Chain A
Amino acid sequence: MIRFESATKQYPDGTLAVDALDLVAPSGQITVLVGPSGCGKTTSLRMINRMIDATSGRILLDDQDVASVDPARLRRGIGYVIQHAGLFPHRTIIDNIASVPLMLGRSKKEARAGAMELLERVGLDPRFAQRYPAQLSGGQQQRVGVARALAADPPVMLMDEPFSAVDPVVREQLQDEFLRLQSDLGKTIVFVTHDIDEAIKLGDQVAVLRVGGRLAQMATPAELLSNPVDDFVANFVGRDRGYRALGFESVTALPLESEPTVSLDSSFTAAEKAAVDGWVLVLDGERRPQGWLAVADGPSATGDTISTATLRRGGTVAERDGTYRAVLDAALSSPTGRGVIVGPDGTFAGTINASRVVALIEARAEAPR
């Protein structure tokens, strides 16, 4: 657990970067610091491993004041990942990853073996081991940076905008992998970003800082979206926060409509007969939804069968006990207006239309909480 106790940093030029910050980052969880540029996120993060020393207040790491630990020793027990990875250009990938274990006195063989394992763990081909950083793409370098920070298996990781220098597609990939990794490892992580979407996606809890280094709100992502404490947080969280907040609330007792369905191998004539308003839902042999068939498209060229080529597969599918956001999206994205809902095993459960979902959302808002 990391605890800030009115930690303050004033730079020699007078800038008050962090002002009496009180904050707890619980063990085994991801705590995200988010806020506009220059609000003191990096400064707060770097006070934990003493890259910057607090001018007043304390920071406790598992109840020990970090100021009482030798900085180099402290840092060897804390993983640290930064924006541009900062890989050592003169060392191979494997030796980059093995840096901290070697410093801690492990044997070269042991350190390299551990590094090879980590390389695969962060999703890199073992072929990369003998390459140099200059031979890797930005996203790959970032993975190596994460692997390097994990190498000595530190209980705590500090990450300063680790994914912000890569393109959005790669960023999403890295985020997903990072969450998967964390669910295995359960590290205590403090993660800095200026991207609220990233904060909401990754954080078990999110601390919003305002310029001047003051804590504006500390909450779970859902709480932050539904209940911003003031205009600053509300604005920062964004305009579509109402819609995004629906992503954190699960529906209960979804009133589903029954829907006539046909299977993939049934005849076109049968499908035509079952159709409602010119559309019929097609399932596979295990009753999993495959797509909507428009009667107007006609049978397949080979005879009286369903043409898989003309199936509309575009709509999203929501789980019966999924979030309001997923259910509403299923309704909105369906070509028929009837959202496809499935059970936990992926089999078709029924449909619901958007106005019914909205009615549910309104009913939930009116209910006293």
Chain B
Amino acid sequence: MIGQVFSWLTDSAHWTDTPIDTGIATQLLAHIRFSLIAVGIAAAIALPLGLLIGHTRRATFLVAGANALRSLPSVGLLVLLTVLIAPHFYGRTDIGYVIPTEIVLVLLAVPPILSNTYAGVDNVSPAVTDAAKGMGMTERQILFGVELPCSLPLIFSGLRSATLQVIATATIASFVPLGGLGRFIYDGLQQQDYPQMISGGVLVAALAMAADLLLALIQRSVVSRGLSGRFSRAVVVTSTSERTEVEAG
């Protein structure tokens, strides 16, 4: 079976489009497009909102409310929204399927980004914000110069978990007839073509890992070493007179 999957994936005919079949390259791009749009919209909503709620400590019920969204079954919501929206766009484009899919994916991505951003700002030590205020920083400077950079580790973990869930769930876009890598899974299932179905799964997993790796790299370059703890030299300090230095691993 593994051999069959391997040969399905390496068959160059499967990568390019034919008049009847859409190839891997096109579906991969479609999958990336769905996911990028969803994570982009979710971040555009949840990041500023989370920063604001964390900074002002007002309207924290919004965070709890967003978390309650997690119990919605995404397939069910997708089918419901499709049945609701798609008929209005019949014939012309596939926008009637894109909208429901993006709504479901955005709803999926908002809770982790929002709650992590909020938690990130909320976790900044009160002594730090007090000192920032006391040295004459404006609210803006505190938010963008202190709270945001200090919350980046948590913000990134929210962003990464949202991205993983979106890429994984974008496969169900193919359940309502849309493109994306889920196409191979649902088509393979229907045609009892298991190598194709499993290849679809492998491709989604590979895309998810690549996206996570990319985000991890960005995180590494953006987050201050003072927060991530990746110091070039770790120092064990007992007092000013006695210092022991050890090499960090």
Contacts and interface: CB of A to CB of B under 8 A. Distances in A.
Interface of A: 49, 51, 71-77, 80, 82-92, 99-100, 103, 123-125, 131-137, 139-140, 145, 148-149, 158, 170, 173
Given A49-B134, A72-B136, A90 B149 contact: yes
Contact of A132 (B131, B132, B226): B226
Nearest to B152: A90
B138 interface: yes
Given A89-B125, A90-B224, 20 more contacts: A75-B134, A75-B136, A84-B125, A85-B131, A86-B125, A87-B128, A88-B146, A88-B150, A89-B227, A91-B226, A103-B137, A124-B240, A131-B231, A134-B226, A135-B234, A136-B237, A139-B239, A139-B240, A140-B240, A145-B131
Contact of A100 (B133, B135, B225, B231): B135
Interface string B102-133: 00000000000000000000000101111111
12 contacts: A72-B136, A83-B127, A85-B131, A86-B125, A88-B128, A89-B226, A91-B224, A91-B226, A134-B226, A136-B237, A140-B240, A148-B135
B235 interface: yes
Interface string B124-164: 01011111111111100100001001100000000000000
A82 B137 contact: no
B154 to A, nearest CB: 13
B246 to A, nearest CB: 12
A190 B225 CA distance: 35
B229 interface: yes
Contacts of A51: 130, 133-134
Contacts of B131: 80, 82, 85-88, 145, 148
B225 to A, nearest CB: 6
A157 to B, nearest CB: 11
Contact of B130 (A77, A82, A134, A136): A82
Contact of A80 (B135, B224, B239): B135
A132 B224 contact: yes
B36 to A, nearest CB: 28
A170 B239 contact: yes
Interface string B216-235: 00000000111101010011
A76 B224 contact: no
B192 interface: no
A132 B134 contact: no
Contact of B132 (A88, A170, A173): A88
A131 B235 contact: yes
B232 to A, nearest CB: 9
A137 B231 contact: no
A133 B138 contact: no
A75 B133 contact: yes
